[in-house]
Structure 1
Amino acid sequence: MLRNKILRNKLLKHLLLRNLMLRNKLIRHLLLRNNLLRNLMLRNKILRNKLIRHLLLRDKLLKNLMLRNKILRNKLIRHLLLRNKLLKNLMLRNKLLRKLMLRNKLLRKLMLRNKLLRKLMLRNLLLTSKLTTLLRTSDRFQAKTFQKISN
């Protein structure tokens, strides 16, 4: 089974979605070690939304993996960040995730377009000031837009 990609992918998808123990205990470990599974997770909406939302909020190892891995950081977090209130709140409480957001141009642009995320940002003074200074230095137009929104 492990040698056959199709079998492995189809089986994992079904097992993951039906079995809580497998989803929580086994996949956390596999996800950190297995490139194929990470890629599968990124391509599959059900896996990405149901599984990773929960793991991301509970698992420090996965957050660290996400911060180190460009594919996970860009494809996965962009989607989750815009759809998930819990993740937005987590982002505001979590220093590593805040730093990631400040370093990532795509996330900054999305933040400027997303009303819920802007409101959360405005409530957090430290993050707002850090972000506006960063935007001022990197992109003047975006900084002006953000200042208009915050005023």
Structure 2
Amino acid sequence: MPKIETSRLKRIIKNVKAHLSVRQVSPNGKLVAYAQDTKGDEIYTVYVIDAESGKYVGQPLEGITYDIKWAGDDYLVYVTMNAILRPDKVWLHMLGSDQSNDIRLYHEKDDMFSLGLRSSESKQTAHNSGGEGAVGARVRQGWRMGEKQELGKSLDVTCD
């Protein structure tokens, strides 16, 4: 993976009070996605930067949880929250596209469950899981990360 100079990091992280939650490197090692909360409300904005140049890639993703996973080198999977801040929807974002065009992969309608993402050890499958505490965790759905294909065919939705 290309090395990022310290001076570039200082330029990228401008708000010293900001909370950086997740830092995910793309499978090819060329991009870094990170989630930033500047208000303390745990509603994050995700930025993607080119690891070699330090430049931003596309527009930031706004209003999401800290939970992001790469789906190949060109897509991010992320979670958003409902009005009471319960993580309830999983989305697929193609880098360079507008967030309003993202594809909703899953909507958890049961208020007893909150969503979270995890990757399989092989990094070939992303799973959403929910229901913490007394109910226990449950895996509801998995997405197999396929070869680069046209949008809509790059992920096979499978139920676990």
Shared fold (TM-score, shorter chain, > 0.5): no
TM-score by length of 2: 0.28
Higher helix share: 1
- The structure having more radius of gyration, on CA atoms, is 1
Higher strand share: 2
TM-score by length of 1: 0.29
